[in-house]
């Protein structure tokens, strides 16, 4: 099957061909015909398999035929959990729709709202938005969603994890009841099923990989180590194996900052990226990492869904995530689109239960290797976790607080066939 067999507009096929893509991925092959037929869709696929193109291509095709007659208000709304993902989706829309007379914009927090207001006064066909900033515009009466024909929820599971469920419900109430709904997600849960049941109308179900799986080309490894030796071990691994592009995940923003400072002082160029960084800083840091001028990028889970780096070879869990599914999202930044990748986790004694939960999710044991000079002390005391990211296990008030913080600080990426 080639893209020419999917009945897409010639202008879209021309752009796809110029980007060097000829064969659709399984999720694209399955999803695109369903979207073109006008039905609702619930699509599940592991990260890095091309979900973004699975909806951007058919949405562009459909809007190209209806756009000339509309009033200038958005015809398609794509909701995403993070700023970076919004920018990447827009990059995809712009790339695949370069020969179409369609306009798109990203609507994210962390930047001045006035340029967005000005852009909304013109013609916007496709709006890619984070929930918090979109509701800011609704409050200021600068956005009219009454003409939306197609709604896409991208990375829906991440939006629920970040506590956006109430915002999503508010946004749904603003949309026309008659519309096409597309839900894309990397993982499947009871919460996602409940959201789909209330949103989708007799949807087609597309699932191209076993639920909550990781790419087969990724090599997983655990290095047992005491907590106070983790920084030294990470620096040792990067230097010993000559890793040139390394994405490292921490649980907290403060931890990301401290680790980046440590690595930089030890001769390894490193910067941190998280929700407290300005949008300009995040864009600049990510650009340096993508072009290879930055060796190590230290990130919190805000970046797990929003980073798309071609052929990223190494992802390191400096600390294991408290939610097993987040392990899938983190290491999904490597091993994308059939490429190989390494997922390395530095696991202390107190994280063993988290490792077991991840192995249970993956349905396999992760190989362990103790590095000489960094052997864990079997008598080392365990350190209780005070940080948690599992919103589903938090009291409702805590979720609400975190959701509002996410809206202010982390409203935010995706594009291309490797997404």
CATH number at residue 233: 3.40.50.300
- 15 and 143: one domain? yes
pLDDT band at 383 (very low <50, low <70, confident <90, very high): low
pTM here is 0.66
Residue 202 to residues 40, 45, 55, 160, 205: CA-CA distances in angstroms?
Answer: 7, 19, 18, 22, 9
- For the chain, how many residues are written? 419
pLDDT of residue 407: 40
Residue 398 has pLDDT above 90, yes or no: no
Lowest model confidence (mean pLDDT) among 56-65, 133-142, 278-287, 395-404: 395-404
Is residue 344 within 8 Å of 335, Cβ to Cβ?
A: no
Q: Identify the pLDDT of residue 42.
A: 93
pLDDT of residue 240: 94
Is residue 400 situated within a structural domain?
no
At 307, is the pLDDT very low, low, confident or very high (cuts 50, 70, 90)? low
Residue 126 is assigned to a structural domain of this protein? yes
| 187 and 286 both lie in a single domain | no
The predicted model gives 385-413 an average pLDDT of 39
Q: Does one domain contain both 324 and 266?
A: yes
Structural domains of the chain, count: 2
- Tell me the C-alpha to C-alpha distance, in Å, between residue 215 and each of 63, 204, 343, 345: 33, 24, 11, 16
pLDDT score for 391: 40
Confidence of residue 304 (pLDDT cuts 50, 70, 90): low
Per-residue confidence band for 347, with pLDDT thresholds at 50, 70 and 90? very high
User: Which residue, 154, 184, 207, sits at the end of a domain?
Assistant: 207
- Asked if 41 and 138 sit in the same domain, the reply is yes
Mean pLDDT across 389-414: 38
- CA 203 to chain CA centroid, nearest Å: 23
What is the spatial distance between Cα 168 and Cα 160, in angstroms, rounded to a whole number?
9
Answer whether 219's CB lies under 8 Å from 341's CB. Answer: yes
Question: Average pLDDT of the chain?
Answer: 84
pLDDT at 336 (0 to 100) = 53
* Whether residue 53 is found in the same domain as residue 75: yes
CB neighbourhood size of 28 (10 A)? 28
Q: In this structure, are 337 and 201 located in the same domain?
A: no
Same domain, 295 and 252: yes
Q: Model confidence over 123-153: pLDDT tens digits?
A: 999 999 999 999 999 999 999 999 999 999 9
Average pLDDT over residues 183-209: 83
Residues 256 and 227 in one domain: yes
Q: Which residue has the higher pLDDT, 173 or 395?
A: 173
pLDDT digits 0-9 by tens, 147-167:
999 999 998 888 887 788 899
Tell me which of 263-277, 341-355, 373-387 is least confident: 373-387
The per-residue pLDDT for 395 is: 36
**What residues make up the domain containing 173?**
3-207
**What per-residue string of b and e applies to 221-237 under the rule 16 or more CB within 10 Å gives b?**
ebbbbbbebbbebbbbb
Q: Is residue 73 located within the same domain as residue 178? A: yes
The pairing of strands 270-273 and 314-317 is unpaired
Q: pLDDT tier at 301 (50, 70, 90 boundaries)? A: confident
* pLDDT attached to residue 179: 96
Least confident of 7-11, 51-55, 106-110, 190-194: 190-194
Res. 411: pLDDT tops 90? no
Q: Do residues 399 and 32 lie in contact, with contact meaning Cβ atoms separated by under 8 Å?
A: no
At 278-291, the pLDDT tens digits run: 878 888 898 898 88
Q: Residues 7, 104: one domain?
A: yes
Residues 237 and 301 in one domain: yes
Q: What is the pLDDT of residue 262?
A: 97
Averaged pLDDT for residues 325-351: 80
The verdict on 311 and 376 lying in the same domain is yes
Confidence label for 185 from pLDDT (cuts 50, 70 and 90): confident
Integer Cα distance of 372 and 381 in angstroms: 21
């Amino acid at each position: 099957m080639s893209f020419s067999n999917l009945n897409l507009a010639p202008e879209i096929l021309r752009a796809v061909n110029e980007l060097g893509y000829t064969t659709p991925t399984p999720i694209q092959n399955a999803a695109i015909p369903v979207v073109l037929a006008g039905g609702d869709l619930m699509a599940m696929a592991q990260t890095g398999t091309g979900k973004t193109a699975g909806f951007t291509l058919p949405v562009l095709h459909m809007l190209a035929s209806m756009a000339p007659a509309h009033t200038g208000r958005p015809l398609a709304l794509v909701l995403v959990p993070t700023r970076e993902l919004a920018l990447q989706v827009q990059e995809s829309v712009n790339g695949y729709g370069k020969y179409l007379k369609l306009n798109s914009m990203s609507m994210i927090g962390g930047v001045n709202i006035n340029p967005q207001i000005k852009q909304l006064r013109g013609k916007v066909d496709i709006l890619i938005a984070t929930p918090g900033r979109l509701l800011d515009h609704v409050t200021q009466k600068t956005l009219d969603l009454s003409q939306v024909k197609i709604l896409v929820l991208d990375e829906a599971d991440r939006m629920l994890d970040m506590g956006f469920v109430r915002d999503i419900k508010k946004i749904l109430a603003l949309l026309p009841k008659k519309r096409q709904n597309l839900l894309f997600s990397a993982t499947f849960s009871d919460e996602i099923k409940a959201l789909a049941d209330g949103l989708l109308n007799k949807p087609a179900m597309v699932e191209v990989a076993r639920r909550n799986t990781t790419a087969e080309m990724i090599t997983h490894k655990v290095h047992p180590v005491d907590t106070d030796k983790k920084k030294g071990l990470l620096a040792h691994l990067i230097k010993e194996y000559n890793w040139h592009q390394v994405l490292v995940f921490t649980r907290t923003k403060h931890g990301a900052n401290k680790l980046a400072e440590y690595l930089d002082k030890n001769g390894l160029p490193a910067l941190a990226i998280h929700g407290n960084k300005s949008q300009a800083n995040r864009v600049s840091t990510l650009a340096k990492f993508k072009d290879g001028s930055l060796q190590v990028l230290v990130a919190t889970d805000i970046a797990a869904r929003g980073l798309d780096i071609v052929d990223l070879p190494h992802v390191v869990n400096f600390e294991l995530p408290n939610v097993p599914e987040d392990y899938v999202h983190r290491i999904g930044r490597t091993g994308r689109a059939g490429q190989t990748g390494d997922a390395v986790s530095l696991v202390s004694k107190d994280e063993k239960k988290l490792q077991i939960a991840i192995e249970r999710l993956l349905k396999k044991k992760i190989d362990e290797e103790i590095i000489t000079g960094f052997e864990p002390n079997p008598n080392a005391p365990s350190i209780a976790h005070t940080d948690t990211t599992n919103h589903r296990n938090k009291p409702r008030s805590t979720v609400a607080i975190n959701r509002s913080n996410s809206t202010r600080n982390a409203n935010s990426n995706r594009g291309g066939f490797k997404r």
